[in-house]
Structure 1
Amino acid sequence: MASVALNSSGKLTSAAVGTWSCLWTSAVLSLKAFRAAPFLLALVIVPEFAQHVAEISLGMFDSREAAMAVANHPLRWAFGFAKIAGLVAAMLLTARFWATGSVRAALRMPLPDLGRLLIALALLFGSGAALEWLGSASGVPLIKGVVTAITWLSQAMLMVMVAGALLGDREGWRSNLVARIPTALLMLLVAAALFVPLQLLHGANHSWAFGQPAAVVWGLMLFDSLVVGLLASAVGAALFVTYRAGPTRDGWTRDPRW
Protein backbone atom coordinates (compact mmCIF):
# COMPACT_ATOMS: atom_id res chain seq x y z
CA MET A 1 0.00 0.00 0.00
CA ALA A 2 1.40 3.38 -0.98
CA SER A 3 2.40 5.75 1.77
CA VAL A 4 1.20 9.30 2.12
CA ALA A 5 4.47 11.15 1.64
CA LEU A 6 5.65 13.74 4.13
CA ASN A 7 7.28 16.84 2.66
CA SER A 8 10.54 17.72 4.38
CA SER A 9 9.19 21.15 5.32
CA GLY A 10 5.98 19.77 6.74
CA LYS A 11 7.08 16.59 8.51
CA LEU A 12 6.68 17.95 12.02
CA THR A 13 3.30 19.51 11.22
CA SER A 14 2.09 16.32 9.55
CA ALA A 15 3.31 14.21 12.47
CA ALA A 16 1.63 16.49 15.03
CA VAL A 17 -1.65 16.70 13.12
CA GLY A 18 -1.65 12.97 12.42
CA THR A 19 -0.92 12.07 16.03
CA TRP A 20 -3.70 14.34 17.29
CA SER A 21 -6.09 12.88 14.72
CA CYS A 22 -5.28 9.34 15.84
CA LEU A 23 -5.73 10.31 19.49
CA TRP A 24 -9.04 12.06 18.86
CA THR A 25 -10.41 9.27 16.67
CA SER A 26 -9.40 6.62 19.21
CA ALA A 27 -11.16 8.54 21.99
CA VAL A 28 -14.34 8.89 19.92
CA LEU A 29 -14.37 5.22 18.93
CA SER A 30 -13.78 4.16 22.53
CA LEU A 31 -17.07 5.83 23.49
CA LYS A 32 -18.95 4.62 20.42
CA ALA A 33 -18.08 1.02 21.27
CA PHE A 34 -20.51 1.09 24.21
CA ARG A 35 -23.34 1.40 21.70
CA ALA A 36 -21.81 -0.46 18.77
CA ALA A 37 -20.28 -3.47 20.57
CA PRO A 38 -21.55 -3.67 24.18
CA PHE A 39 -21.16 -7.46 24.23
CA LEU A 40 -17.40 -7.17 23.73
CA LEU A 41 -17.04 -4.65 26.54
CA ALA A 42 -19.19 -6.83 28.78
CA LEU A 43 -16.33 -9.35 28.69
CA VAL A 44 -14.49 -7.13 31.16
CA ILE A 45 -17.30 -5.07 32.72
CA VAL A 46 -19.14 -8.11 34.09
CA PRO A 47 -16.15 -9.78 35.82
CA GLU A 48 -14.95 -6.38 37.04
CA PHE A 49 -18.29 -5.74 38.75
CA ALA A 50 -18.39 -9.33 40.02
CA GLN A 51 -15.02 -8.74 41.67
CA HIS A 52 -16.38 -5.57 43.26
CA VAL A 53 -19.34 -7.54 44.64
CA ALA A 54 -16.85 -9.96 46.20
CA GLU A 55 -14.77 -7.07 47.57
CA ILE A 56 -17.79 -5.43 49.15
CA SER A 57 -18.89 -8.74 50.71
CA LEU A 58 -15.37 -9.10 52.17
CA GLY A 59 -15.61 -5.63 53.72
CA MET A 60 -12.76 -4.32 51.60
CA PHE A 61 -14.08 -0.76 51.47
CA ASP A 62 -14.76 -0.44 55.19
CA SER A 63 -11.33 1.16 55.59
CA ARG A 64 -7.85 1.19 54.07
CA GLU A 65 -6.74 -1.25 56.75
CA ALA A 66 -9.52 -3.65 55.79
CA ALA A 67 -8.53 -3.33 52.13
CA MET A 68 -4.95 -4.31 52.93
CA ALA A 69 -6.15 -7.26 54.99
CA VAL A 70 -8.22 -8.81 52.18
CA ALA A 71 -6.19 -7.63 49.17
CA ASN A 72 -4.86 -11.15 48.54
CA HIS A 73 -7.99 -13.04 49.52
CA PRO A 74 -8.51 -16.08 47.22
CA LEU A 75 -12.08 -15.04 46.39
CA ARG A 76 -10.95 -11.62 45.22
CA TRP A 77 -8.18 -13.08 43.10
CA ALA A 78 -10.48 -15.68 41.55
CA PHE A 79 -12.52 -12.85 40.08
CA GLY A 80 -9.34 -10.90 39.42
CA PHE A 81 -7.96 -13.52 37.04
CA ALA A 82 -11.29 -13.59 35.18
CA LYS A 83 -11.20 -9.79 34.96
CA ILE A 84 -7.67 -9.75 33.55
CA ALA A 85 -8.60 -12.35 30.92
CA GLY A 86 -11.72 -10.35 30.07
CA LEU A 87 -9.71 -7.13 29.85
CA VAL A 88 -7.25 -8.57 27.34
CA ALA A 89 -10.05 -10.16 25.31
CA ALA A 90 -12.07 -6.93 25.26
CA MET A 91 -9.07 -4.89 24.13
CA LEU A 92 -8.18 -7.27 21.30
CA LEU A 93 -11.70 -7.93 20.11
CA THR A 94 -12.63 -4.24 20.15
CA ALA A 95 -9.69 -3.53 17.84
CA ARG A 96 -10.82 -6.33 15.54
CA PHE A 97 -14.43 -5.12 15.70
CA TRP A 98 -13.50 -1.73 14.23
CA ALA A 99 -11.60 -3.50 11.44
CA THR A 100 -14.37 -5.96 10.57
CA GLY A 101 -17.44 -3.86 11.32
CA SER A 102 -19.39 -6.48 13.25
CA VAL A 103 -19.21 -8.41 16.51
CA ARG A 104 -19.79 -11.72 14.74
CA ALA A 105 -16.92 -11.12 12.31
CA ALA A 106 -14.70 -10.01 15.17
CA LEU A 107 -15.34 -13.28 17.01
CA ARG A 108 -14.93 -15.46 13.91
CA MET A 109 -11.21 -15.20 13.29
CA PRO A 110 -9.67 -17.24 10.45
CA LEU A 111 -7.32 -19.93 11.73
CA PRO A 112 -4.20 -18.50 10.01
CA ASP A 113 -4.82 -15.10 11.61
CA LEU A 114 -5.56 -16.74 14.96
CA GLY A 115 -2.27 -18.64 14.74
CA ARG A 116 -0.37 -15.44 14.01
CA LEU A 117 -2.12 -13.73 16.91
CA LEU A 118 -1.18 -16.50 19.34
CA ILE A 119 2.44 -16.38 18.18
CA ALA A 120 2.56 -12.59 18.58
CA LEU A 121 0.97 -12.75 22.04
CA ALA A 122 3.40 -15.47 23.13
CA LEU A 123 6.32 -13.32 21.98
CA LEU A 124 4.82 -10.26 23.66
CA PHE A 125 4.25 -11.81 27.08
CA GLY A 126 7.27 -14.11 26.96
CA SER A 127 9.76 -11.40 26.06
CA GLY A 128 8.17 -9.01 28.54
CA ALA A 129 8.57 -11.52 31.38
CA ALA A 130 12.15 -12.30 30.36
CA LEU A 131 13.18 -8.65 30.16
CA GLU A 132 11.48 -7.87 33.46
CA TRP A 133 13.44 -10.68 35.11
CA LEU A 134 16.65 -9.44 33.52
CA GLY A 135 16.07 -5.91 34.78
CA SER A 136 15.19 -7.02 38.31
CA ALA A 137 18.18 -9.39 38.45
CA SER A 138 20.60 -6.55 37.81
CA GLY A 139 21.59 -4.36 40.72
CA VAL A 140 23.05 -1.66 38.47
CA PRO A 141 20.66 1.28 37.96
CA LEU A 142 22.07 2.06 34.50
CA ILE A 143 21.49 -1.50 33.31
CA LYS A 144 17.96 -1.44 34.73
CA GLY A 145 17.29 1.77 32.83
CA VAL A 146 18.59 0.33 29.57
CA VAL A 147 16.57 -2.86 30.01
CA THR A 148 13.45 -0.82 30.78
CA ALA A 149 13.90 1.22 27.59
CA ILE A 150 14.44 -1.95 25.54
CA THR A 151 11.37 -3.50 27.14
CA TRP A 152 9.11 -0.58 26.25
CA LEU A 153 10.34 -0.43 22.64
CA SER A 154 10.25 -4.19 22.05
CA GLN A 155 6.78 -4.50 23.57
CA ALA A 156 5.52 -1.66 21.38
CA MET A 157 6.97 -3.31 18.27
CA LEU A 158 5.42 -6.65 19.19
CA MET A 159 2.07 -4.92 19.69
CA VAL A 160 2.30 -3.94 16.03
CA MET A 161 2.52 -7.67 15.24
CA VAL A 162 -0.47 -8.32 17.50
CA ALA A 163 -2.50 -5.58 15.79
CA GLY A 164 -1.52 -6.85 12.34
CA ALA A 165 -2.74 -10.35 13.19
CA LEU A 166 -5.93 -8.98 14.73
CA LEU A 167 -6.76 -6.84 11.72
CA GLY A 168 -5.96 -9.60 9.24
CA ASP A 169 -3.07 -7.74 7.60
CA ARG A 170 -1.02 -10.72 6.45
CA GLU A 171 1.22 -8.65 4.19
CA GLY A 172 1.99 -6.12 6.92
CA TRP A 173 2.57 -8.90 9.46
CA ARG A 174 5.39 -10.24 7.29
CA SER A 175 6.93 -6.81 6.66
CA ASN A 176 10.16 -5.51 8.20
CA LEU A 177 9.30 -4.87 11.83
CA VAL A 178 12.09 -2.32 12.22
CA ALA A 179 10.48 -0.20 9.50
CA ARG A 180 7.33 -0.10 11.62
CA ILE A 181 9.02 1.52 14.63
CA PRO A 182 7.17 4.83 13.99
CA THR A 183 3.89 2.89 14.07
CA ALA A 184 4.95 1.18 17.30
CA LEU A 185 5.82 4.50 18.93
CA LEU A 186 2.55 6.09 17.80
CA MET A 187 0.61 3.10 19.08
CA LEU A 188 2.38 3.33 22.45
CA LEU A 189 1.81 7.09 22.68
CA VAL A 190 -1.89 7.06 21.81
CA ALA A 191 -2.68 4.00 23.92
CA ALA A 192 -0.81 5.46 26.92
CA ALA A 193 -2.48 8.87 26.53
CA LEU A 194 -5.88 7.19 26.86
CA PHE A 195 -4.93 4.42 29.29
CA VAL A 196 -3.11 6.42 31.97
CA PRO A 197 -5.88 8.89 32.95
CA LEU A 198 -8.47 6.11 32.96
CA GLN A 199 -6.21 3.93 35.10
CA LEU A 200 -5.74 6.84 37.53
CA LEU A 201 -9.52 7.28 37.68
CA HIS A 202 -9.87 3.54 38.28
CA GLY A 203 -7.54 3.78 41.27
CA ALA A 204 -9.20 6.94 42.55
CA ASN A 205 -12.62 5.25 42.58
CA HIS A 206 -11.31 2.76 45.11
CA SER A 207 -9.81 5.49 47.28
CA TRP A 208 -13.05 7.48 47.23
CA ALA A 209 -15.02 4.39 48.30
CA PHE A 210 -13.16 3.79 51.57
CA GLY A 211 -15.37 4.41 54.58
CA GLN A 212 -18.35 5.60 52.52
CA PRO A 213 -21.99 4.52 53.02
CA ALA A 214 -23.03 1.37 51.18
CA ALA A 215 -25.04 3.24 48.55
CA VAL A 216 -22.03 5.38 47.65
CA VAL A 217 -19.72 2.36 47.50
CA TRP A 218 -22.07 0.46 45.20
CA GLY A 219 -22.47 3.50 42.96
CA LEU A 220 -18.73 4.05 42.72
CA MET A 221 -18.05 0.39 41.96
CA LEU A 222 -20.69 0.34 39.23
CA PHE A 223 -19.13 3.46 37.74
CA ASP A 224 -15.69 1.92 38.11
CA SER A 225 -16.75 -1.16 36.15
CA LEU A 226 -17.78 1.11 33.28
CA VAL A 227 -14.46 2.94 33.53
CA VAL A 228 -12.60 -0.35 33.10
CA GLY A 229 -14.80 -1.12 30.11
CA LEU A 230 -13.89 2.27 28.64
CA LEU A 231 -10.23 1.56 29.33
CA ALA A 232 -10.41 -1.68 27.33
CA SER A 233 -12.33 0.07 24.57
CA ALA A 234 -9.80 2.90 24.41
CA VAL A 235 -6.80 0.61 24.04
CA GLY A 236 -8.59 -1.48 21.40
CA ALA A 237 -9.48 1.64 19.44
CA ALA A 238 -5.89 2.90 19.69
CA LEU A 239 -4.56 -0.39 18.29
CA PHE A 240 -6.91 -0.19 15.33
CA VAL A 241 -6.50 3.50 14.55
CA THR A 242 -2.72 3.69 14.83
CA TYR A 243 -2.12 0.47 12.90
CA ARG A 244 -4.45 1.70 10.17
CA ALA A 245 -2.57 5.00 9.93
CA GLY A 246 0.69 3.04 9.93
CA PRO A 247 3.36 5.74 9.95
CA THR A 248 6.81 4.72 8.67
CA ARG A 249 9.97 6.67 7.98
CA ASP A 250 8.57 7.39 4.50
CA GLY A 251 5.22 8.75 5.68
CA TRP A 252 1.72 7.57 6.58
CA THR A 253 0.39 4.30 5.21
CA ARG A 254 -3.02 5.97 5.22
CA ASP A 255 -3.93 9.57 5.77
CA PRO A 256 -4.58 9.71 9.55
CA ARG A 257 -7.17 12.47 9.14
CA TRP A 258 -10.57 10.77 9.32
Structure 2
Amino acid sequence: MTTLPQVTTSSTNSFTFSSPQCSAPFTTFCSSLTAVMSSITVAGGSTTIFSSQSIGASSSRQIRPEPPVDIPFGTLSQDAKLDKLFEAISFITVQNRNLQSSIDNLWTMIGEHETRLNDLESNLSHAHVEMEKLRIYIDKMSFCSRQQTTEFTVSGIPSSLPESENDQVVGTVLTCIGAQRFLSDIIRVRQLKPKDASSEFRTLLVVCKSSVVRDEIVRLKILKGDIPIADILPTYRSVAQRKLYLIEWLPQVTFTLLQEVRTKARTCGFE
Protein backbone atom coordinates (compact mmCIF):
# COMPACT_ATOMS: atom_id res chain seq x y z
CA MET A 1 0.00 0.00 0.00
CA THR A 2 1.38 3.36 -1.10
CA THR A 3 1.10 6.34 1.17
CA LEU A 4 0.47 9.71 -0.53
CA PRO A 5 2.66 12.55 0.48
CA GLN A 6 1.36 15.13 2.85
CA VAL A 7 0.93 18.74 1.74
CA THR A 8 1.33 21.54 4.20
CA THR A 9 1.28 25.25 3.60
CA SER A 10 4.43 26.91 4.76
CA SER A 11 3.80 30.37 3.39
CA THR A 12 1.49 32.27 1.13
CA ASN A 13 3.31 31.38 -2.09
CA SER A 14 4.78 27.92 -1.25
CA PHE A 15 3.72 24.35 -0.52
CA THR A 16 5.72 21.67 1.39
CA PHE A 17 5.46 18.00 0.36
CA SER A 18 6.64 15.11 2.61
CA SER A 19 6.67 11.39 1.88
CA PRO A 20 7.63 8.33 3.96
CA GLN A 21 9.92 7.19 1.14
CA CYS A 22 11.82 10.48 1.10
CA SER A 23 14.15 11.53 3.88
CA ALA A 24 13.65 15.26 3.26
CA PRO A 25 10.59 17.28 2.44
CA PHE A 26 10.27 19.07 -0.89
CA THR A 27 9.25 22.70 -0.97
CA THR A 28 7.78 24.15 -4.22
CA PHE A 29 7.38 27.86 -4.73
CA CYS A 30 4.62 29.19 -7.08
CA SER A 31 4.88 32.39 -8.97
CA SER A 32 1.27 33.30 -8.24
CA LEU A 33 -1.75 32.22 -6.19
CA THR A 34 -3.50 31.13 -9.41
CA ALA A 35 -1.01 28.27 -9.99
CA VAL A 36 -2.40 24.83 -9.28
CA MET A 37 -0.78 21.47 -8.89
CA SER A 38 -2.05 19.13 -11.58
CA SER A 39 -0.79 15.77 -10.32
CA ILE A 40 1.75 14.08 -8.10
CA THR A 41 3.19 10.69 -8.97
CA VAL A 42 5.24 8.70 -6.49
CA ALA A 43 7.07 5.59 -7.69
CA GLY A 44 10.21 3.94 -6.34
CA GLY A 45 10.86 6.69 -3.82
CA SER A 46 10.77 9.49 -6.45
CA THR A 47 8.27 12.28 -6.53
CA THR A 48 7.33 14.18 -9.74
CA ILE A 49 5.41 17.43 -9.58
CA PHE A 50 3.57 18.98 -12.60
CA SER A 51 2.29 22.52 -12.33
CA SER A 52 0.52 24.97 -14.69
CA GLN A 53 0.96 28.70 -14.61
CA SER A 54 -1.62 31.41 -14.88
CA ILE A 55 -3.71 31.17 -18.08
CA GLY A 56 -4.13 34.91 -18.35
CA ALA A 57 -0.41 35.60 -18.19
CA SER A 58 0.41 32.88 -20.76
CA SER A 59 -2.31 33.95 -23.20
CA SER A 60 -1.31 37.60 -23.13
CA ARG A 61 2.28 36.73 -24.02
CA GLN A 62 1.18 34.56 -26.97
CA ILE A 63 -1.35 36.91 -28.80
CA ARG A 64 0.39 40.26 -28.30
CA PRO A 65 2.10 41.17 -31.65
CA GLU A 66 5.55 42.57 -31.72
CA PRO A 67 5.63 46.25 -32.73
CA PRO A 68 7.17 46.88 -36.20
CA VAL A 69 10.66 48.15 -36.13
CA ASP A 70 11.35 51.16 -38.40
CA ILE A 71 14.90 50.72 -39.52
CA PRO A 72 16.65 54.06 -40.15
CA PHE A 73 17.62 54.63 -43.81
CA GLY A 74 21.22 55.28 -42.85
CA THR A 75 21.59 51.83 -41.30
CA LEU A 76 20.38 49.98 -44.42
CA SER A 77 22.73 48.19 -46.73
CA GLN A 78 23.69 49.65 -50.09
CA ASP A 79 21.32 47.34 -52.00
CA ALA A 80 18.44 48.11 -49.65
CA LYS A 81 19.06 51.84 -50.10
CA LEU A 82 18.99 51.44 -53.89
CA ASP A 83 15.73 49.50 -53.68
CA LYS A 84 14.16 52.23 -51.57
CA LEU A 85 15.29 54.93 -54.00
CA PHE A 86 13.99 52.95 -56.97
CA GLU A 87 10.58 52.60 -55.31
CA ALA A 88 10.46 56.35 -54.62
CA ILE A 89 11.46 57.18 -58.22
CA SER A 90 8.81 54.82 -59.61
CA PHE A 91 6.13 56.40 -57.43
CA ILE A 92 7.15 59.91 -58.48
CA THR A 93 7.15 58.86 -62.15
CA VAL A 94 3.58 57.58 -61.91
CA GLN A 95 2.44 60.73 -60.13
CA ASN A 96 4.17 62.92 -62.70
CA ARG A 97 2.49 61.02 -65.54
CA ASN A 98 -0.93 61.50 -63.94
CA LEU A 99 -0.22 65.18 -63.38
CA GLN A 100 0.84 65.65 -67.00
CA SER A 101 -2.37 63.96 -68.19
CA SER A 102 -4.44 66.28 -66.00
CA ILE A 103 -2.58 69.31 -67.37
CA ASP A 104 -3.20 68.17 -70.97
CA ASN A 105 -6.91 67.77 -70.26
CA LEU A 106 -6.98 71.22 -68.71
CA TRP A 107 -5.36 72.79 -71.77
CA THR A 108 -7.89 71.02 -74.00
CA MET A 109 -10.76 72.40 -71.93
CA ILE A 110 -9.26 75.90 -72.10
CA GLY A 111 -9.01 75.63 -75.90
CA GLU A 112 -12.61 74.49 -76.21
CA HIS A 113 -13.71 77.31 -73.91
CA GLU A 114 -11.92 79.91 -76.04
CA THR A 115 -13.52 78.48 -79.19
CA ARG A 116 -16.95 78.71 -77.63
CA LEU A 117 -16.30 82.30 -76.57
CA ASN A 118 -15.25 83.22 -80.12
CA ASP A 119 -18.35 81.55 -81.55
CA LEU A 120 -20.51 83.36 -79.02
CA GLU A 121 -18.99 86.74 -79.91
CA SER A 122 -19.52 86.02 -83.61
CA ASN A 123 -23.14 85.03 -83.01
CA LEU A 124 -23.72 88.14 -80.94
CA SER A 125 -22.32 90.35 -83.69
CA HIS A 126 -24.51 88.62 -86.26
CA ALA A 127 -27.52 88.97 -83.97
CA HIS A 128 -26.90 92.72 -83.61
CA VAL A 129 -26.80 93.08 -87.40
CA GLU A 130 -30.02 91.10 -87.81
CA MET A 131 -31.70 93.12 -85.07
CA GLU A 132 -30.77 96.34 -86.83
CA LYS A 133 -32.23 94.99 -90.08
CA LEU A 134 -35.41 94.00 -88.28
CA ARG A 135 -35.67 97.46 -86.76
CA ILE A 136 -35.43 98.98 -90.23
CA TYR A 137 -38.07 96.56 -91.51
CA ILE A 138 -40.37 97.45 -88.63
CA ASP A 139 -39.98 101.15 -89.43
CA LYS A 140 -40.78 100.45 -93.09
CA MET A 141 -43.80 98.35 -92.19
CA SER A 142 -45.02 101.06 -89.85
CA PHE A 143 -44.73 103.55 -92.69
CA CYS A 144 -46.61 101.22 -95.03
CA SER A 145 -49.41 100.76 -92.51
CA ARG A 146 -49.80 104.54 -92.28
CA GLN A 147 -49.61 104.98 -96.05
CA GLN A 148 -52.26 102.56 -97.27
CA THR A 149 -52.71 102.62 -101.01
CA THR A 150 -55.96 102.40 -102.96
CA GLU A 151 -54.55 101.23 -106.30
CA PHE A 152 -54.34 97.94 -108.14
CA THR A 153 -52.76 97.06 -111.46
CA VAL A 154 -53.93 95.13 -114.49
CA SER A 155 -50.94 93.82 -116.40
CA GLY A 156 -50.63 91.84 -119.63
CA ILE A 157 -52.52 94.39 -121.76
CA PRO A 158 -51.32 94.34 -125.40
CA SER A 159 -49.28 97.44 -126.17
CA SER A 160 -51.20 97.91 -129.41
CA LEU A 161 -54.39 98.64 -127.46
CA PRO A 162 -55.26 102.38 -127.69
CA GLU A 163 -55.18 104.29 -124.40
CA SER A 164 -58.73 105.46 -125.00
CA GLU A 165 -59.92 101.92 -124.39
CA ASN A 166 -58.21 101.56 -121.01
CA ASP A 167 -61.36 102.40 -119.00
CA GLN A 168 -63.41 99.96 -121.07
CA VAL A 169 -60.86 97.17 -120.52
CA VAL A 170 -60.88 97.75 -116.75
CA GLY A 171 -64.70 97.68 -116.72
CA THR A 172 -64.66 94.38 -118.65
CA VAL A 173 -62.17 92.89 -116.19
CA LEU A 174 -64.28 93.91 -113.16
CA THR A 175 -67.36 92.42 -114.78
CA CYS A 176 -65.46 89.20 -115.51
CA ILE A 177 -64.52 88.71 -111.84
CA GLY A 178 -67.93 89.74 -110.49
CA ALA A 179 -66.91 93.19 -109.22
CA GLN A 180 -69.05 95.31 -111.55
CA ARG A 181 -70.72 96.96 -108.55
CA PHE A 182 -67.44 98.78 -107.88
CA LEU A 183 -67.30 100.49 -111.29
CA SER A 184 -68.51 103.74 -109.73
CA ASP A 185 -65.69 103.56 -107.17
CA ILE A 186 -62.99 103.77 -109.83
CA ILE A 187 -61.45 107.25 -109.81
CA ARG A 188 -59.06 107.00 -112.78
CA VAL A 189 -57.10 104.63 -114.96
CA ARG A 190 -53.68 105.40 -116.41
CA GLN A 191 -51.02 103.47 -118.23
CA LEU A 192 -47.67 102.99 -116.51
CA LYS A 193 -44.48 103.65 -118.40
CA PRO A 194 -42.90 100.28 -119.26
CA LYS A 195 -39.39 99.51 -118.10
CA ASP A 196 -38.64 98.11 -121.53
CA ALA A 197 -39.99 100.20 -124.39
CA SER A 198 -39.80 97.22 -126.74
CA SER A 199 -42.16 95.13 -124.57
CA GLU A 200 -45.42 94.15 -126.30
CA PHE A 201 -47.40 94.33 -123.05
CA ARG A 202 -48.43 97.21 -120.83
CA THR A 203 -49.68 97.69 -117.28
CA LEU A 204 -52.67 99.78 -116.23
CA LEU A 205 -52.81 101.47 -112.83
CA VAL A 206 -56.35 101.72 -111.43
CA VAL A 207 -57.08 104.15 -108.56
CA CYS A 208 -60.05 103.36 -106.29
CA LYS A 209 -61.88 105.53 -103.78
CA SER A 210 -60.63 103.52 -100.79
CA SER A 211 -58.35 100.68 -99.86
CA VAL A 212 -61.41 98.70 -98.77
CA VAL A 213 -62.75 98.73 -102.34
CA ARG A 214 -59.35 97.85 -103.72
CA ASP A 215 -58.96 94.91 -101.30
CA GLU A 216 -62.39 93.55 -102.18
CA ILE A 217 -61.63 93.67 -105.91
CA VAL A 218 -58.36 91.81 -105.34
CA ARG A 219 -60.19 89.21 -103.25
CA LEU A 220 -62.75 88.61 -106.01
CA LYS A 221 -59.95 88.19 -108.53
CA ILE A 222 -58.34 85.52 -106.33
CA LEU A 223 -61.67 83.69 -106.12
CA LYS A 224 -62.12 83.91 -109.90
CA GLY A 225 -58.71 82.57 -110.75
CA ASP A 226 -57.03 83.09 -114.12
CA ILE A 227 -58.29 85.73 -116.57
CA PRO A 228 -57.52 84.74 -120.18
CA ILE A 229 -56.99 87.65 -122.57
CA ALA A 230 -59.42 85.97 -124.97
CA ASP A 231 -62.25 86.61 -122.44
CA ILE A 232 -61.45 90.34 -122.25
CA LEU A 233 -60.07 91.17 -125.70
CA PRO A 234 -61.38 88.52 -128.12
CA THR A 235 -60.11 90.45 -131.15
CA TYR A 236 -56.47 90.02 -130.12
CA ARG A 237 -56.08 86.47 -131.35
CA SER A 238 -52.27 86.59 -131.39
CA VAL A 239 -52.17 86.81 -127.59
CA ALA A 240 -55.40 84.97 -126.85
CA GLN A 241 -53.56 82.23 -124.93
CA ARG A 242 -51.97 84.68 -122.50
CA LYS A 243 -53.45 85.87 -119.19
CA LEU A 244 -54.21 89.16 -117.50
CA TYR A 245 -52.96 89.74 -113.96
CA LEU A 246 -54.78 91.86 -111.37
CA ILE A 247 -52.75 92.52 -108.24
CA GLU A 248 -52.49 95.05 -105.45
CA TRP A 249 -50.33 98.04 -106.22
CA LEU A 250 -47.56 98.32 -103.64
CA PRO A 251 -45.49 101.39 -102.80
CA GLN A 252 -41.81 101.15 -103.62
CA VAL A 253 -40.88 100.70 -99.96
CA THR A 254 -43.39 97.88 -99.51
CA PHE A 255 -42.42 96.24 -102.78
CA THR A 256 -38.72 96.30 -101.84
CA LEU A 257 -39.51 94.84 -98.43
CA LEU A 258 -41.57 92.08 -100.05
CA GLN A 259 -38.72 91.25 -102.42
CA GLU A 260 -36.28 90.99 -99.52
CA VAL A 261 -38.66 88.70 -97.63
CA ARG A 262 -39.04 86.44 -100.66
CA THR A 263 -35.27 86.28 -101.14
CA LYS A 264 -34.75 85.45 -97.46
CA ALA A 265 -37.43 82.74 -97.65
CA ARG A 266 -35.75 81.09 -100.65
CA THR A 267 -32.39 81.21 -98.86
CA CYS A 268 -33.94 79.39 -95.89
CA GLY A 269 -35.45 76.73 -98.15
CA PHE A 270 -39.01 78.06 -98.33
CA GLU A 271 -40.86 78.46 -101.60
Q: Aligning the two structures, in what range does the TM-score lie when normalised by the shorter sequence?
A: under 0.3
Higher share in helix = 1
Larger C-alpha radius of gyration, 1 or 2? 2
- Give the number of the structure with larger relative contact order, counting CA–CA contacts within 8 Å between residues 6 or more apart: 1
